[in-house]
């Protein structure tokens, strides 16, 4: 029998590492080739035909609410930010109406096959299935030889006994409705609920998508550049909103702000906000905003 599904996008965070840009624009509302990250991820979820679509908001909630409403998402405003776990309880009255719920960070750009993730979750019988990646500097998910979560490195009660692999959480997971039994009101980290479920004898799977997918966490300037460059490659638009007199095949310029009178010979540049600071010819390898110019490695 087919399983009903909710899709829940997490959009409440502060984006501290991208300040001052994220003092004005929440991360999931940042645009790539004119589309917000939230919209890009919403389009990836659509083929799953979710019955419920929702997101949470807190930081700059009014700016985040506008793109969410345009996409038809229910918006759950958090007066107090509830974290990656507490937001489950806050949404339980919606996500408990379907058999499964997909939770997806709103500040990712990726090519993970979400159909595959859901199908493998249903087949596994796990209470939850996490998308994982091999990122040595961030690997914390301790897994056994069958791809089941044993614990989280560095988290309370961690033990690497039986560990066969260690992966990074990709910020995307599928849960059975019954997982909500392990949630509580108030701010909480999702790792707490994973550990509680494991402690109760439940099984949580981790699927490694390192070889089959690209994944960009754009929480830093360099990550933001890499996500932007990926979207230029995916759309085959290498001079979005930029029409220099001397055209280059792949300048990798994205004028997300619609800044007028841009000079010639820009290369590896993304403009996220209009700026009064001059942008000079031959400017390269940077992200530009109202009051910053961040260098990046192309």
Dihedral pair phi/psi, residue 291, rounded to 5°: -135, 30
- The whole-angstrom separation of Cα 199 and Cα 201 is 5
Query: What is the CB neighbour count within 10 angstroms for residue 47?
Result: 9
Residue 274 structure tokens? 């209009």
For the stretch 74-115, pLDDT in tens is 999 999 999 999 999 999 999 999 999 999 999 999 999 999
Model confidence at 133: pLDDT above 90: yes
Alpha helices in the chain (DSSP H): 37-45, 61-70, 83-90, 92-95, 114-124, 190-199, 221-235
Under 8 Å between Cβ of 180 and 92: yes
| pLDDT attached to residue 1 | 56
Give the residue extent of every domain in the chain. 5-216, 238-295
Model confidence at 159: pLDDT above 90: no
Q: Which CATH class is domain 5-216?
A: alpha beta
Q: Cα 149–151–157 angle (5° rounding)?
A: 160
For the stretch 137-153, pLDDT in tens is 788 999 999 999 999 98
Residue 43 structure tokens? 């389009």
- The whole-angstrom separation of Cα 219 and Cα 126 is 30
- The whole-angstrom separation of Cα 205 and Cα 6 is 19
End-to-end CA separation in angstroms for the chain: 48
**Structure pTM?**
0.93
* DSSP string for residues in 91-111: THHHHTTSSEEEEEETTEEE-
- The whole-angstrom separation of Cα 58 and Cα 198 is 30
- Which value, to the nearest 10 degrees, does the dihedral of the CA atoms of residues 135, 119, 193, 75 take? 100
* DSSP string for residues in 208-221: E-TTT--EEE-SSH
Q: Cα 107–36–243 angle (5° rounding)?
A: 125
Mean pLDDT of the chain: 94
For the stretch 11-58, pLDDT in tens is 999 989 999 999 999 999 999 999 999 999 999 999 999 999 999 999
For the stretch 238-264, pLDDT in tens is 999 999 887 888 999 999 999 999 999
Q: How far is CA 202 from the centre of its chain?
A: 26
């Amino acid at each position: 029998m087919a399983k009903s599904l909710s899709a829940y996008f997490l959009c409440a965070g502060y984006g501290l590492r991208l300040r001052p840009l994220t003092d004005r624009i929440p991360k999931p509302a940042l645009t790539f080739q004119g589309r917000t990250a939230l919209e890009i991820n919403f389009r990836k979820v659509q083929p799953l035909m979710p019955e419920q679509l929702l997101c949470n908001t807190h930081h700059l909630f009014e700016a985040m609410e506008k793109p969410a409403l345009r996409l038809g998402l229910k918006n759950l405003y958090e007066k107090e930010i509830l974290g990656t776990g507490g937001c489950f309880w806050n949404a339980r009255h919606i996500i408990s109406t379907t058999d499964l719920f997909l939770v997806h960070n709103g500040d990712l750009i990726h090519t993970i096959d979400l159909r595959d993730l859901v199908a493998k979750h249903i087949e596994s019988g796990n209470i939850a299935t996490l998308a994982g990646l091999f990122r040595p500097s961030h690997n914390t998910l301790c897994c056994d030889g069958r791809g089941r979560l044993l614990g989280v490195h560095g988290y309370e009660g961690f033990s690497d006994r039986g560990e066969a692999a260690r992966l990074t959480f990709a910020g995307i997971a599928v849960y059975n409705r019954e997982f909500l039994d392990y949630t509580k009101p108030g701010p909480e980290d999702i790792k707490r609920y994973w550990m509680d479920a494991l402690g109760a004898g439940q099984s949580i799977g981790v699927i490694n998508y390192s070889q089959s997918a690209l994944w960009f966490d754009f929480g830093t300037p360099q990550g933001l550049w890499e996500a932007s460059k990926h979207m230029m490659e995916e759309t085959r638009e290498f001079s979005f909103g930029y029409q220099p007199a001397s055209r280059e095949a792949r300048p990798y310029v994205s004028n997300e702000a619609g800044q007028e009178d841009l000079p010639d010979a820009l290369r590896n540049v993304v403009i996220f906000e209009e700026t009064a600071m001059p942008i000079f010819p031959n400017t390269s390898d940077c992200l530009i905003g109202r009051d910053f110019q961040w260098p990046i490695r192309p």
